Amino acid sequence: MTPVTAPLAFAPEVRAALDAGKPVVALESTIITHGMPFPSNVETARRVEAEIRAHGAVPATIAVFGGQIHIGLTGEELDALARAKDVMKVSRADLAVCLAKGAWGATTVAATMICADLAGIKVFATGGIGGVHRGAETSFDISADLAELGITPVTVVAAGAKAILDLPKTLEVLETDGVPVIAYGQDEFPAFWSRSSGLKAPLRMDSAAEIARAQIMRRALGLSGGQLVANPVPAEAEIPHEVIDPVIEQALAEAAAQHIHAKEVTPFLLARIFELTEGRSLETNIALVLNNARLAAAIAAELAA
């Protein structure tokens, strides 16, 4: 059988940066197709890319279409993705199928890590990772993001795990998989919209240089997997957990009543929480993604240096 190489299509800006050894930050695309309504999705994607450039790195938004993994999108491609219908939410299980079918695919945290690693990109900024869903003891609903962090050597900067999840169990699974969970600048594990979760983070680091050195040391030791950097949302933008928790509980109850499950759960909950907070959750989401982009750019710069 003829060997097949990964079908990667690089945006010129990204290819030039990688060839020159300049810092590059990967970005996922489900936040565009499944995480925010139009036109906030496109506006936020452009703001995040601009934030990365402003802090000395090159953004590489990753998506699948035309039978290729696109490492970096042009403005026209970004618009087309944001407006596309029936976009697959692609993870490790369905990435190859999406490519084989030539379908539109938006990459989750897991798929973005895979594609970033194939492209030689070592830092990835997102909003929040997936994790163990509440009720997983009976549903077994656990995001593929956790397993990916255990095997793919990419540092992921996120505002913790999404607060709609079972955070204690999420941390337990990450520990089992040997994933370093590093809180940035505080001892507590952040909870996406909130800086506080009530849970102590396993590890703490206070600079991008420290985080970069840890990633380099993992490679030197031959350790598999990446790092999760839990970067708390800026204080002025957070929704305190005592405010957001009742909203999350209501949204979860509604999802259960409507028998929403599997990949449809997270988009439903995020949309419902947006409605119940009258848009405040989206404002916080945008603020935390921008904050993560800044830190990811700093880590990428340290690795490039």
Active site residue: 122, 162, 188, 302, which one?
Answer: 162
Distance in angstroms (rounded) separating the CA atoms of residues 260 and 121: 35
* The pair of three-digit structure tokens given for residue 244, joined into one six-digit string: 């957001």
Q: Is 28 among the residues known to form the active site? A: yes
Q: Is 254 among the residues known to form the active site? A: no
Question: 235 Cβ partners below 8 Å, 6+ apart?
Answer: 195
Listed residue (266, 33, 62, 243) closest to 161, CA to CA = 266
| Residue 227, CB-side half-sphere exposure with 13 Å CA sphere | 28
Place of tokens 């956790």: 146
CB 123 within 8 A of CB 303: yes
* The pair of three-digit structure tokens given for residue 43, joined into one six-digit string: 């506006």
Active site residue: 28, 148, 188, 238, which one?
Answer: 28
Judging by DSSP bridges, how do beta strands 68-71 and 58-65 pair with one another? antiparallel
* The pair of three-digit structure tokens given for residue 3, joined into one six-digit string: 């060997």
Task: Point out the residues that are catalytic.
Answer: 28, 162
